[in-house]
Structure 1
Amino acid sequence: MTFSLIARCPRTGQIGAAVTTSSIAVGSRVPFVAPGLGAVLTQHRTDPRLGPRGLALLRSGCTAAETVAALVASTPDEAWRQLAVLDAAGRTAHHHGARVKPAHGAAHGPGVVALGNILASASVPEAMLAGFLAAGAEPLAERLLRALEAGEAAGGEHGAVTSASLLVMAREEFPYIDLRVDKSAEPLAALRAVWTEYAPLAEGFVARALTPEGAPVF
Structure 2
Amino acid sequence: MKKIILLLLIPFALTAQSFYGNNPFAHTYSIVAYDSTTGEIGVAVQSHWFSVGTVVCWGEAGVGVVATQSFVNVSFGPRGLELLKEGLTPGEAVDKLLSDDEGREYRQLAILDAKGNVAAFTGKNCIQPAGHIVGKGYSVQANLMSNDKIWGAMSKAFENSEGPLAERMVAALEAAENAGGDIRGKQSAALLVFSGKPTGKIWLDKLVDLRVDDHPEPIKEIKRLLKVHRAYEHMNNGDLAVEKNDMETAMKEYSAAMDMFPDNLEMKYWTAVTLANNDRIEDALILFKEVFDKDKNWKTLTPRLVPSGLLKVTDENLKLIMNL
Q: Same fold (TM over 0.5)?
A: yes
C-alpha contact 2:191 2:210 (8 A) present in aligned 1: yes
Alignment of 1:214 with 2:243, yes or no, is yes
Offset of residue 200 of structure 1: 2.7
Q: Is the 8 A contact 1:176 1:202 kept in 2?
A: no
The answer to which of 69-78 and 9-18 deviates more is 69-78
Structure 2 residue identity aligned to 1:99: N
Pairs aligned (count): 215
Is 1:194 aligned with 2:225?
A: yes
Rg larger for: 2
The 3-state SS of whatever aligns with 2:211 is strand
Q: In the alignment, does 2:32 pair up with 1:25? A: no
Question: Contact between 1:177 and 1:202, CA under 8 Å: does it hold in 2?
Answer: no
Deviation at 1:206, TM superposition (A): 9.0
**CA–CA separation in structure 2 for the residues paired with 1:99 and 1:207:** 52
Determine the C-alpha separation between the residues in 2 that align with 1:103 and 1:117: 6
Map of 1:61 onto structure 2: 87
Calculate percent identity across the aligned residue pairs: 33
* 1:17-65 residue CA offsets vs partner (Å, 9 max, x unmatched): 1100001001111011111211111001112111000000011111111
Matches within 5 A, 1:99-114: 99-114=125-140
Aligned to 1:184: 215
| Alpha-carbon distance in 2 for matches of 1:106, 1:148 | 14
- Contact 2:112/2:119 (<8 A) preserved: yes
> Aligned residue for 2:143?
117
Report which of the two has the higher share of strand.
1
47, 54, 58: which one aligns with 2:73: 47
Aligned to 2:164: 139
**Cα distance change on mapping 1:205 and 1:167 into 2, 3 Å:** farther
- Asked if structure 1 preserves the Cα contact closer than 8 Å seen for 2:41 and 2:194, the reply is yes
Q: Which of 181, 191, 203 is equivalent to 1:166? A: 191
Q: 1:195 to 1:101 in 2, by over 3 A?
A: same
Structure 2 distance, partners of 1:160, 1:148, is 13
Q: Which runs of 5+ in 1 are unaligned?
A: none
Residue 157 of structure 1 pairs with residue 171 of structure 2: no
Deviation at 1:163, TM superposition (A): 0.2
Q: Distance in 2 between matches of 1:60 and 1:10?
A: 23
Query: TM (normalized to structure 1)?
Result: 0.91
| Distance in 1 (alpha carbons) for counterparts of 2:160 and 2:178 | 15
Q: Distance in 2 between matches of 1:6 and 1:98?
A: 21
8 Å Cα contact 2:39-2:115 kept in structure 1: no
Q: Deviations over 1:147-187 (max 9, x none)?
A: 10011111111111100001101245232101111111111
* Structure 1 contact 13–36 (Cα < 8 Å) conserved: no
Q: Measure how far apart 1:205 and its partner are.
A: 5.7
2:120 and 2:134 in contact (8 A); partners too: no
Q: Matches of residues 88-103 of structure 1 in structure 2 within 5 Å?
A: 88-103=114-129
More helix by share: 2
Report the more deviating stretch, 76-85 or 5-14: 76-85
Unpaired runs of at least 5, structure 2: 1-26, 245-249, 251-265, 268-324
Secondary structure, counterpart of 1:176 in structure 2? strand
Preserved contact between residue 176 and residue 206 of structure 1 (Cα < 8 Å):
no
Structure 1 residue 207 displacement after superposition: 9.9
Query: Which of 1 and 2 has higher RCO (CA within 8 Å, sep 6+)?
Result: 1
**Residue 131 of structure 1: how far off its partner (Å):** 0.9
> Cα–Cα, structure 1 residues 38 and 205, in superposed 2: closer, same or farther, change >3 Å?
farther
**Structure 1 residues 157 and 207: alpha-carbon distance in aligned structure 2, compared to 1, 3 A threshold:** same
